Each structure stands twice: as C-alpha cells, then as structure tokens.
C-alpha cells in the first residue's frame, strides 16, 4: 500500500492558481503510474472532481486515459469530490451520491488535517 498527499490544501482558497495547476498535473502524472501498474488493485483520486470543476484538469483527459488502458479490469479507480461532471458520471461504472449530515469543520470547529482532508 502507498499513500500520497499531494497539493497544498484547499484549491478554492488559492493564492497561486498557476502553482495549483502545476501541482494537479504532477499529482495526475503520479496517479497514472499507479493506475497502469497491475500491482495496485485500488487507486483513489480523492477530490479530483473538485480539480475538474475548478478547471485544473479536464475530465476528457481522465476519461481518455482510463479508456485507453491496456490492463482494463485489473484495478479499481475511485474518483471522489463533489460536483462530478456529467461526462465522468456517464463514463463511470458506479456512481454514489453522498449527503452531508454532519461535518467536523462546520459542526465541531475541527480544523482540516494534513493527510486526512488534504
């Protein structure tokens, strides 16, 4: 198992969009190496839908990459984050919608934690 926390936090509060775009591209490049590697059966791209929504990466780039994989069905790729674009939803095998009931930031004043929320 490998765990990477990439980027610098909440991109909707960015102070440097160009740097954020660069970090997303670097994270996507690393993610592709894991997705192509048959040793990894599950790759989770946490909050990538937010990166798509904010224009840091295009959904077509992700879809095209996954569609063109040679090792289809050998691993599972999970894309998380609110506001998944229709193109991702249509392409996905499984789509789940979650509803917020309670949130530590809002309800309990707990601050975001590195490697958990970012």
pLDDT of residue 9: 58
Domains of the chain, by residue range, sit at 13-108
The more confidently predicted of residues 55 and 72 is 55
For residues 48, 54, 57 and 58, what is the CA-based torsion angle, rounded to 10 degrees? 100
Give the C-alpha separation, 101 to 111, whole Å: 18
Give the C-alpha separation, 89 to 84, whole Å: 7
CATH classification code of 13-108: 3.40.50.300
What band does 117 get if pLDDT is binned at 50, 70 and 90? low
pLDDT of residue 11: 54
pLDDT of residue 102: 84
Mean pLDDT, range 33-45, rounded to an integer: 91
Query: Tokens 């509803």 map to which residue?
Result: 99
State the average pLDDT for the chain: 84
For residues 1, 33, 37 and 63, what is the CA-based torsion angle, rounded to 10 degrees? 110
Length of the chain: 118
């Amino acid at each position: 198992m490998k765990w990477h926390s990439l980027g610098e936090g909440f991109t909707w509060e960015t102070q440097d969009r160009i740097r954020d775009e660069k970090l997303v591209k670097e994270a996507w490049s690393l993610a592709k190496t894991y997705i192509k590697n048959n040793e990894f059966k599950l790759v989770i791209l946490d909050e990538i839908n937010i990166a798509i929504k904010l224009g840091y990466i295009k959904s077509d780039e992700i879809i095209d990459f996954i569609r063109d994989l040679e090792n289809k069905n050998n691993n599972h790729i999970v894309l998380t984050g609110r506001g998944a674009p229709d193109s991702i939803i249509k392409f996905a095998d499984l789509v789940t919608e979650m509803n917020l009931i309670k949130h530590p930031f809002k309800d309990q004043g707990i601050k975001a934690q590195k490697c958990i929320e970012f």
